[in-house]
């Protein structure tokens, strides 16, 4: 199992995540896509950390997971608030924040 395998898997997950973020309209699903992208990066970090015999990548992965968890807390709170005030969750219709 070479490093190409890790790269391919990581790139695939990242692409799925980014495409999912662009084509889906439900913010919850978009959030999950973001998590996919983050985890693609984590996967890459951990994989290479083991190839290179260095712990740095794994520590990085831990930090990214922490940040992602914090981000989810804030993001879910925002989504919940939007849903409570507008009673819908279509990102294309939440477009008042523009110039």
CA–CA distance, 22 with 20 (Å, rounded to integer) = 5
- Determine the size of the site formed for another protein (CB under 8 A): 14
CB of 87 to another protein, least distance (A): 19
For residue 10, CA distances in Å to 24, 31, 52, 61, 87 come to 21, 18, 17, 14, 36
Q: Does 53 bind another protein (CB under 8 A)?
A: no
Q: Does 97 bind another protein (CB under 8 A)?
A: yes
Burial class (CB in 10 A: 0-12, 13-18, 19+), 17: buried
Structure tokens at 49: 């950390």
Q: Which stretch binds another protein (CB under 8 A): 17-25, 47-55, 56-64, 73-81?
A: 17-25
Q: Does 74 bind another protein (CB under 8 A)?
A: no
Q: Does 7 bind another protein (CB under 8 A)?
A: no
Query: Among 21, 31, 43, 60, which residue interacts with another protein (rule: CB under 8 A)?
Result: 21
């Amino acid at each position: 199992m070479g490093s190409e395998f890790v790269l391919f898997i990581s790139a695939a997950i990242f692409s799925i995540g980014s495409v999912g973020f662009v084509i889906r309209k439900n913010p919850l699903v978009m959030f999950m896509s973001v998590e996919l992208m983050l985890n693609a990066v984590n996967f890459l970090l951990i994989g290479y950390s083991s190839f290179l015999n260095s712990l740095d990548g794994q520590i990085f992965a831990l930090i990214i997971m922490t940040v992602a968890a914090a981000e989810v807390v804030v993001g879910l709170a925002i989504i919940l608030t939007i849903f409570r005030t507008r009673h819908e969750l279509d990102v294309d219709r939440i477009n008042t924040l523009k110039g």
